[in-house]
Amino acid sequence: MRRCCTRMIRRSAIISVVTVTAWIITAFLFSTELVEDVNILAYTPGRDVKSNIDICETKTLIAPGSRPLVALASFPGSGNTWIRYLIERVTGYYTGSFYSDAVLFRAGFRGEKYDWLERNTIVVKTHETDSEHVDKFDAAILIIRNPYDAIISERHRQTGGGHVGFAKEVDFTDSGGWNAMVNDYLQYWEGITTLWLLRDFPRLVIHYEDALENTQRTMFEITRFLNISDSEVRADCLIQKTEGLFHRKGANFVFSADPFSESMQVMVNQSIEHVNMILLQQMRRPVARRKSFND
Ligand SMILES: *[C@@H]1O[C@H](CO)[C@@H](O)[C@H](O)[C@H]1NC(C)=O
Ligand SMILES: *[C@@H]1O[C@H](CO)[C@@H](O)[C@H](O)[C@H]1NC(C)=O
């Protein structure tokens, strides 16, 4: 009788210990679950809540030669740096360059310091227009921007100091060298666009204006072209900080009149028509409309 009860008491004591332990474990699990929930509330896109690192800023090089050599080709002033920045955010791979720009390197474009022929970057920026150069690539993403806007943007870069500075009104007059620049640069715009368009390697045409309008769709076009699967794309990294570091804000500069004279417009329109003919033959969208010159 006694032995039986002692045993029962001992057994129930064991059961209570087990129960209490189970409660403690449950409470612990529940509390960590609450902590996780709080973290979900504080979640900002791309930020790793545990290490507090912005994963959108983490990038690696690709294994040399593991992918085709893809050019990111454009006339200057057409959003090349911006698209590069977004490619790095969404793919997690560094982009390279035919050039070596210390300003861009310091801003985080670490791929600037490698020889582009090392093939260790996901795309390579280029503004070049010679066939031999083009032939070194296996594929190209060509960014096209309306030449009126691209030439003005490039003028700001050349005479206003770098990626975000502004030109002065005199830089858009004949005495300031504007007419000569429009002549040269219009030829350059038409030349670079037609050269890359008429290659027979795989090419993707991106209109800068479409990229502004629908950044997400444009970036998925790019990643699909690069054979990066949608599930690998860091789409969250397109929600914030999509402007990049070198956005020249147009509203800071006001023209008193259209810097493109009537005769310049005739020439520019002819170049656009020529490029449009090729784009339409290739079933691609035409060059985007010009913005108002004070937008
Ligand atoms: C993507 O994959 C296709 C089919 O395998 C291939 O032909 C093409 O060259 C690849 N393009 C890139 C940029 O990797
Ligand atoms: C150039 O084209 C634009 C847009 O089509 C048009 O508005 C403008 O009048 C044209 N300019 C000339 C001089 O043909």
Q: Which residue out of 123, 204, 227, 232 has the highest number of ligand 1 atoms within 8 Å of its CB and is therefore the one to mutate?
A: 227
> With bands split at pLDDT 50, 70 and 90, how would you rate the model's confidence at 197?
very high
> With bands split at pLDDT 50, 70 and 90, how would you rate the model's confidence at 174?
confident
Residue nearest to atom 1 of ligand 1 (CA): 227
pLDDT score, position 50: 56
Q: Is the CB of 27 under 6 A from ligand 2?
A: no
Per-residue pLDDT, averaged over 92-121, amounts to 92
> With bands split at pLDDT 50, 70 and 90, how would you rate the model's confidence at 16?
low
pLDDT score, position 6: 60
Determine the Cα–Cα distance for residues 179 and 138; give it in Å rounded to an integer.
37
Per-residue pLDDT, averaged over 182-197, amounts to 97
Per-residue pLDDT, averaged over 124-129, amounts to 97
pLDDT score, position 48: 46
Residue 70's alpha-carbon distances to 13, 25, 33, 76, in angstroms, are: 71, 54, 45, 18
On the question of pLDDT at 5 being above 90, the answer is: no
**CA of residue 201 to ligand 1 center, whole Å:** 11
**CA of residue 68 to ligand 1 center, whole Å:** 8
Work out the mean pLDDT of the chain and round it to a whole number: 84
Atom of ligand 2 nearest to the CA of 265: 13
* Least confident piece of the model among 2-11, 184-193, 252-261, 273-282: 2-11
> With bands split at pLDDT 50, 70 and 90, how would you rate the model's confidence at 265?
very high
On the question of pLDDT at 45 being above 50, the answer is: no
**CA of residue 69 to ligand 1 center, whole Å:** 11
On the question of pLDDT at 23 being above 80, the answer is: no
Q: Is the CB of 194 under 6 A from ligand 2?
A: no
Atom of ligand 1 nearest to the CA of 227: 1
pTM, 2 dp: 0.80
Higher pLDDT, 208 or 174: 208
Which of 133-137, 170-174, 290-294 reaches the highest mean pLDDT? 133-137
Question: How much of the chain exceeds pLDDT 70, in percent?
Answer: 77
Determine the Cα–Cα distance for residues 277 and 275; give it in Å rounded to an integer.
5
